[in-house]
């Protein structure tokens, strides 16, 4: 992979590739998986400490040695042992279940998955005898010209009779060429014991492809994204262009959500029923309520209640909380602030480290000046307040309920409820009320 990151931690649709393998194993068997890792990949143990148990393989000495390390960490009463590779994220639980069922039904001590590969390059060839039984698996570097012509390859997925495996895995010997212990050498032991080996032949559809470089990683991401999107479509989500919808595996979408083209949804994002996510939007680790409409905007770590309109080109940063029915227009930015229900923030403005009461109006060009060069300070804007265009609110400061600021004001002290502040610096006077039914800044 040419990376500092262990291969199995490379993300696919928002999750490490190993997570998908563990999910499939758990779904198929109902048991907690065991991961074999080396001291050099301690970060893998940290990442999956809650999802799996671990066995330590002191040195990378091949698949046979990895299984031996796993058996040392497992209790003796284990009857079946399933062996999967951590770099096959598209593997399906149904195929795992079928493999285990095949082994049990035939009484085989070893069952393995094989596929007819379109391109068997670099893969182990499955050599069968006259009766069609598997005789051996030959790695490409060891294969004869005749064996290189075989298209059936080993997919690297196995199910074993654990008691037989415990007895025989210690007989594996290092390869003279690589010094590794190969799990496939157990085929010869099964024949010597006159025990059966069976196979599950599957179609080559990419679900058992291993990942060894960034090209294969990109291919797996594409396939997983299609799988995720298909699931959402069947559950009642509309995607105008599924090919351009980037939805992480961890995202939750309610029915009747609509995704316009070129939408990116990441992390622990949840979107409520009837919401429309407009083209060009990116939402990460955010909660969006019902019947919202978001146009070409970025949301990070934000919470948005029902019936909110956002964008275009708005930016909600971590800690932004937007109340029901609020309106945030083009180039509105909110960070670490509560914007109450019905607030109007239609034009370019910045609300940071603030609490904005219900029904307040934030004029174009308003800035909560929250940083004094050393510390952040909060601004409080009361319910129904009217903040005039181009107002600078120098925190810490409080604008009382129903108070107003004049256009271009620099407010450096609190404005009592119902009062008007205007000028540079702002002075306080009685507020002249608007006529009933007058519209806010739009």
Q: What positions carry a catalytic annotation?
A: 347
Q: How far apart are CA 369 and CA 376, in angstroms?
A: 9
Three-state SS across 263-278? EEEECCCEECCCCEEC
DSSP 96-164: HHHHHHHHHHHT-SEEEEEEE-S--TTS-EEEE-TTS-EEEEE-GGG--HHHHT--EEEEEEEEEEHHH
Under 8 Å between Cβ of 311 and 278: yes
Under 8 Å between Cβ of 279 and 262: yes
Task: Give the up-direction half-sphere exposure of residue 152: CA atoms within 13 A in the CB hemisphere.
Answer: 16
Q: How far apart are CA 2 and CA 242, in angstroms?
A: 31
**Is the sign of the CA dihedral 196, 200, 201, 206 positive or negative?**
negative
Q: How far apart are CA 210 and CA 213, in angstroms?
A: 9
Q: Which residue has the tokens 């393989």?
A: 57
């Amino acid at each position: 992979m040419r990376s500092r990151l262990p291969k199995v931690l490379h993300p696919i649709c928002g999750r490490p590739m190993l997570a998908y393998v563990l999910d499939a194993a758990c779904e198929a068997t109902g048991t907690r998986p065991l991961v074999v890792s080396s001291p050099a990949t301690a970060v893998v143990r940290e990442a999956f400490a809650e999802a799996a148990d671990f066995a330590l393989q002191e040195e990378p000495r091949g698949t046979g040695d990895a299984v031996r390390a796993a058996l040392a960490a497992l209790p003796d009463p284990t009857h079946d042992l399933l062996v999967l590779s951590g770099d096959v994220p598209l593997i399906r639980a149904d195929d795992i279940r079928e493999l285990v069922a095949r082994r049990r039904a035939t009484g085989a001590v070893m069952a393995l998955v094989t596929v007819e590969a379109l391109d068997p390059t670099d893969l182990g060839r499955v050599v069968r005898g006259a009766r069609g039984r598997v005789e051996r698996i030959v790695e490409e570097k060891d294969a004869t010209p005749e064996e290189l012509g075989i298209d059936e390859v080993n997919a690297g997925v196995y199910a074993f009779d654990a008691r037989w495996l415990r007895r025989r895995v210690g007989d594996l010997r290092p390869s003279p060429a690589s010094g590794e212990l190969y799990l496939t050498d157990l085929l010869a032991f099964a024949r010597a014991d006159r025990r059966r080996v069976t196979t599950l032949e599957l179609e080559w559809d990419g679900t058992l492809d291993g990942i060894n470089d960034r090209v294969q990683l990109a291919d797996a991401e594409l396939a997983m994204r299609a799988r995720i999107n298909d699931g959402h479509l069947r559950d009642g989500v509309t995607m105008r262009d599924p090919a351009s919808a980037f939805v992480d595996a961890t995202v939750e979408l309610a029915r009747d959500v609509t995704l316009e083209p070129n939408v990116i949804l990441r992390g622990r994002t949840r979107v409520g029923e009837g919401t429309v996510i407009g083209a060009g939007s990116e939402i990460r680790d955010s909660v969006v309520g019902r019947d919202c409409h978001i146009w070409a905007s970025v949301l990070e770590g934000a919470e948005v209640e029902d019936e909110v309109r956002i964008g275009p080109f708005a930016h909600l940063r971590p800690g932004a909380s937007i109340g029901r029915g609020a309106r945030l227009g083009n180039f509105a930015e909110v960070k670490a602030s509560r914007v109450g229900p019905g607030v109007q923030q239609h034009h370019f403005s910045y609300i940071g480290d603030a609490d904005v009461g219900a029904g307040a109006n934030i004029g174009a060009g308003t800035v909560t000046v929250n940083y004094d060069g050393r510390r952040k300070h909060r601004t409080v804007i009361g319910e129904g307040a009217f903040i005039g265009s181009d107002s600078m609110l120098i925190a810490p400061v409080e604008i009382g309920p129903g108070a107003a600021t004049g256009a271009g004001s620099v407010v450096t002290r609190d404005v009592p409820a119902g009062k008007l502040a205007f000028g540079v610096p702002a002075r306080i006077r009685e507020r002249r009320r608007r006529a009933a039914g007058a519209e806010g800044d739009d």
